[in-house]
Amino acid sequence: MSRRSDAPRKIKGDPIDMERIAIYPGSFDPITYGHVDIVERALEIFDKVIVAVAQNEEKRALFSVRERVAMIKEVFKEMPNVIADSFEGLLVEYVAKTNAKVIIRGLRATSDFEYEFHMASMNRSLNTHLDTLFMMTSKDYFFVSSRTIKEVARLGGAVEGLVPNLVVRNLKKKFKLPVPKRNEIGWDD
């Protein structure tokens, strides 16, 4: 005879027991406040967000993968439920190694849509258990992309307020521009 218990029965795969993990993949060359905003909002839905830097040989990057991951780690150092990582090869294969079921992507304008729609459809055809969740950019960052940030920073324009301060500093170093001392402006890191 089986013993009855008042404790709720645990069912394997019970959603209550499962940690909801999402993967946020991208180039993050470098991370911007547009990305940070998406991560913070995703944490309202998921228990853990893995920010995964894609090692893409085709795209010429300004920062190495190691530098990009290090910046992401630093930006989220106070948030243990944000993990910085990198991956090579197919995203679906990387996702399969984690317990994540959802890929997060940000959408800025209709121009993002077609590429994202194709990628999400392809990923779903490669793994039918995988879904892509699109989050709309916030009004403060719809015009922010890593590419424009790099262009503006290279020409000496101000990108403060659009990327974390450690990214401002690293951009200046990359472009051999004078780096303000920490006490000259209020670095947040």
Query: For binding to ligand ADP (CB under 6 A), which residues are involved?
Result: 26-28, 32, 34-35, 38, 105-106, 108, 112, 137, 141, 144-146
Q: Which residues of 66-80 are buried (b: 16+ CB within 10 A; e: fewer)?
A: ebbbebbeebbeeee
- Which residue's structure tokens are 């290279």? 154
CB nearer to ligand ADP: give 18 or 117: 117
Please say whether the beta carbons of 47 and 158 come within 8 A: no
Per the residue annotation, which of 4, 9, 12, 59 is the catalytic one? 59
Q: C-beta of 18: minimal distance to ligand ADP in Å?
A: 25
Least gap, CB of 145 to ligand ADP (angstroms): 5
Residue 157 CA neighbour count, 13 Å, CB half = 12
Q: Residue 11 Cβ, how far from ligand ADP at the closest point, in Å? A: 34
Which of 35/48 has CB closer to ligand ADP? 35
Least separation in angstroms between residue 34's CB and ligand ADP is 2
If DSSP states are collapsed to H, E and C, what string results for 11-70?
A: CCCCCCCCCCEEEEEECCCCCCHHHHHHHHHHCCCCCEEEEEEEECCCCCCCCCHHHHHH
Active-site annotation holds for 169: no
Q: Which of 108, 124, 172, 174 is catalytic?
A: 108
35 part of the active site: yes
Given the residues 27, 68, 146, 150, select the one marked as catalytic: 146
Query: What is the set of active-site residues?
Result: 35, 59, 108, 146
